[in-house]
């Protein structure tokens, strides 16, 4: 079989065929690009509608029932609508991927790299919505964790010398190092926040929060031992005085209309003053109080006699107070020896009295200070009593209502008390009973 065409004709035919094939390929490529662009625009439109809340959970359930429970779909939609960007991106990536949207479109829409999107999808595959959105646990920062707070103040309350530090005041770097030795690593900024959140500044902490008593640890251990072994017929009292309180206009925090400033006179004529001498019994949270003209040993002996009469049926009464001079006078110690003598107890049938003084400069351990701080905030701040008697009446009602509260609901000190008091009335070396914001 022969072919009559010339070689030139054959070459021309092959060239024409090649050009036609190239045109077909180019048209196919162009068609694919156009189709891909349409698909991307469609996917972007869908994600945009999802972001703006225009796709309902019912609509998603129709397509995703084999992948997600209805409750999980609602959670993801809630995170897209209400949560911060990092959670919104995670929920968007998963819902878009399950709806068949390409990872390339998701990365371009969310402005994230492919590795980040894949990490979200892998978290979802391994642990579902819970692991994707970190729902299994709330992230609590170190300065919010109670164990770190307690340890900071446990260290801060003791003198630096008790930790082998040749300093008279604490530095944050010292606290950081000691906590690291106890496997509680924390940064200086977090330590500063813990101190600040408790109402103290670093300067204030150096003046108030640290006891300088060389026997700090020994005295503290005695009190802890007593409380940990307190028997049913024994009572432990935290004792202190509140005042003197001047009867005048007092400032404080309160609600005021916008644009107005609450002011009080700088110079005022006092209408009198008062001192509250009181004892808090820790096992029942009951306050015993009376009013004094002075802070001295006679008032302490008076309080001692009142408590002996009130708790006559007990076997032992423990008294704990700070290192004020009238709390440690020879006259007071002589009175205690007299009460504990066999002749006195045989005639009066009173309980044994045991003194458990606090370390010097350790008002932060005096539990009754917590009650005083709450009382000051509730009825002294923003007050303008007309007389000493009016102020005394308000204090009486406050403490009476408080006592009734715990008579109806008996609780040992250690639970949060009363609601208006700043910290738990419990004995712990990390406690800050005397809050500088309210005393």
Q: What is the pLDDT of residues 13-50, one digit of tens each?
A: 666 666 666 666 666 666 666 667 777 788 888 888 88
Let me know if residue 7 belongs to a domain.
no
**Whether residue 306 sits in one domain with residue 353:** yes
pLDDT at 130: 81
**Are residue 45 and residue 110 in the same domain, yes or no?**
yes
Predicted local distance difference test score (pLDDT) of residue 265:
80
| 297 and 397 inside one domain | yes
For residues 98 and 182, membership in a common domain is answered with: no
Looking at per-residue pLDDT, the higher value among 139 and 355 belongs to: 355
Percent with pLDDT over 70 in the chain: 79
| 424 found inside a domain | no
Residue with the larger pLDDT of the pair 77 and 263: 77
Query: What does the pLDDT average to over 77-103?
Result: 87
* The model's pTM: 0.53
Same domain, 167 and 223: no
Band of the pLDDT at 439, cuts 50, 70, 90?
Answer: low
Please tell me the least confidently modeled range out of 80-89, 186-195, 430-439. 430-439
Domain of 365: which CATH number? 3.30.420.10
Residues 201 and 221 in one domain: no
Q: How many CB atoms lie within 10 A of CB 244?
A: 16
197 and 123 fall within a common domain: no
Asked whether residue 289 is domain-assigned, the answer is yes
Lowest average pLDDT, out of 9-18, 111-120, 315-324, goes to 9-18
Domain membership of residue 427 (yes or no) is no
- pLDDT category of residue 1 using cuts at 50, 70 and 90: very low
C-alpha distance from residue 128 to each of 179, 189, 424 (Å): 37, 35, 40
**Tokens standing for residue 110:** 């969310």
Which pLDDT does position 437 carry in this prediction?
A: 53
My answer on whether 358 and 292 are in the same domain is yes
Same domain, 124 and 50: yes
**How confident is residue 160, by pLDDT bands cut at 50, 70 and 90?**
confident
| Highest mean pLDDT pick, 230-239, 416-425, 426-435 | 230-239
Hey, what's the torsion of the CAs at 123, 124, 128, 130, to 10 degrees?
60
pLDDT in tens, 123-145: 888 888 888 887 655 567 788 88
Residue 150 lies in a domain: yes
Q: What is the pLDDT of residues 79-90, one digit of tens each?
A: 888 888 888 899
Looking at residue 316, its pLDDT comes to 92
Is residue 173 predicted with pLDDT exceeding 60? yes
Given this model, what pLDDT does residue 290 score? Answer: 95
**pLDDT recorded at residue 388:** 92
Query: What's the confidence (pLDDT) of residue 58?
Result: 84
% of the chain surpassing 90 pLDDT: 14
Mean pLDDT of 358-363: 72
Residues 66 and 150 in one domain: no
> In whole angstroms, what is the distance from residue 342 CA to residue 354 CA?
15
Q: Is residue 68 part of a domain?
A: yes
The residue behind tokens 């005022």 is 268
Same domain, yes or no: 334 and 237: yes
Q: What is the mean pLDDT of residues 231-259?
A: 83
Number of domains in the chain: 3
Averaged over 97-124, what is the pLDDT? 89
> In the chain, how long is the greatest CA-to-CA distance?
149
pLDDT at 282 over 60: yes
**Which residues have a Cβ under 8 Å from the Cβ of 258 and sit 6 or more positions away?**
none
Domain span at residue 249 reads 216-253+266-408
Of the two residues 141 and 280, the one the predictor is more confident about is 280
- Residue that finishes a domain, picked among 109, 132, 155: 132
Are 72 and 172 within one domain?
Answer: no
Q: Which tens digits make up the pLDDT trace of 325-342?
A: 777 788 888 888 988 888
Per the domain annotation, does 159 fall within a domain?
yes
Q: What is the pLDDT of residue 14?
A: 64
Beta partners for 355? 319
Strand order in the sheet with 273-281: 286-292, 273-281, 234-246, 316-320, 352-355
Per-residue confidence at 222, pLDDT binned at 50, 70, 90?
confident
Across residues 336-360, what is the average pLDDT? 85
Inside any domain, residue 8: no
Residue 61 pLDDT class (50, 70, 90 cuts): confident
Listed in sequence order, the residues at least 6 apart from 277 whose beta carbon sits closer than 8 Å to its beta carbon are: 241, 289, 290, 291, 292, 295, 299, 300, 302, 303
Q: Bridge-partner residues for 289, per DSSP?
A: 278
Token couple for 250: 């007092």
CA distances from 269 to 252, 297, 376, 385 (A): 19, 30, 21, 13
Whole-angstrom distance, CA of residue 150 vs CA of residue 408: 31
DSSP 69: -
169, 208 in Cβ contact below 8 A? no
Please write the tens of the pLDDT for every residue from 291-308.
999 888 899 999 999 999
Please report the pLDDT score of residue 206 as a whole number.
Answer: 46
Please give the backbone phi and psi of residue 88, each rounded to the nearest 5 degrees, phi first: -65, -40
């Amino acid at each position: 079989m022969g072919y009559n065409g010339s070689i030139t004709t054959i070459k021309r035919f092959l060239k024409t065929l090649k050009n036609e094939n190239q045109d077909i390929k180019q048209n196919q490529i162009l068609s694919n690009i156009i189709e891909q662009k349409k698909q991307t625009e469609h996917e972007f439109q869908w994600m945009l509608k999802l972001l703006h809340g225009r796709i309902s959970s019912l609509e998603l359930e129709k397509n995703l029932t084999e992948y997600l429970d209805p409750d999980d779909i609602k959670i993801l939609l809630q995170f897209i609508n209400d949560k911060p960007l990092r959670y919104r991106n995670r929920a968007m990536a998963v819902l878009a991927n399950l709806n068949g949207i390409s990872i390339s479109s998701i990365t371009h829409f969310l402005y994230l790299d492919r590795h980040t999107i894949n990490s979200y999808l892998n978290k979802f595959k391994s642990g579902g919505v819970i692991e994707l959105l970190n729902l299994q646990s709330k992230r609590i920062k170190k300065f919010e964790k109670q164990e770190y707070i307690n340890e900071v103040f446990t260290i801060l309350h003791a003198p630096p010398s008790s930790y082998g530090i040749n300093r008279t005041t604490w530095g944050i770097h010292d606290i950081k190092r000691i906590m690291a030795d106890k496997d509680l690593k924390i940064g200086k900024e977090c330590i500063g926040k813990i101190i600040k959140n408790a109402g103290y500044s670093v300067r204030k902490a150096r003046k108030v929060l640290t006891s300088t008593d060389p026997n700090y640890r020994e005295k503290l251990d005695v009190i802890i031992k007593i409380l940990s072994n307190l028997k049913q017929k024994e009572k432990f009292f935290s004792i202190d005085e509140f005042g003197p309180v001047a009867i005048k206009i007092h400032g404080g925090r309160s609600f005021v209309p916008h644009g107005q400033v609450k002011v009080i006179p700088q110079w005022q004529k006092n209408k009198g003053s008062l001192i509250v001498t009181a004892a808090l019994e820790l096992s029942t949270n009951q306050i015993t109080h009376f009013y004094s003209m002075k802070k001295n040993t006679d008032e302490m002996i008076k309080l001692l006699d009142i408590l002996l009469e009130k708790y006559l049926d007990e076997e032992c009464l423990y008294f704990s107070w700070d290192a004020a001079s009238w709390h440690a006078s020879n006259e007071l110690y002589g009175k205690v020896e007299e009460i504990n003598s066999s002749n006195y107890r045989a005639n009066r049938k009173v309980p044994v009295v045991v003194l458990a003084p606090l370390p010097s400069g350790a008002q932060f351990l005096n539990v009754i200070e917590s009650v005083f701080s709450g009382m000051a905030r509730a009825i002294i701040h923003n007050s303008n009593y007309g007389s000493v008697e009016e102020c005394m009446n308000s204090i009486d009602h406050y403490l009476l209502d408080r006592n009734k509260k715990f008579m109806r609901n008996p609780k040992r000190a250690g639970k949060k008390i009363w609601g208006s008091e700043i910290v738990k009335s419990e004995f712990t070396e990390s406690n800050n009973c005397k809050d500088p914001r309210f005393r």
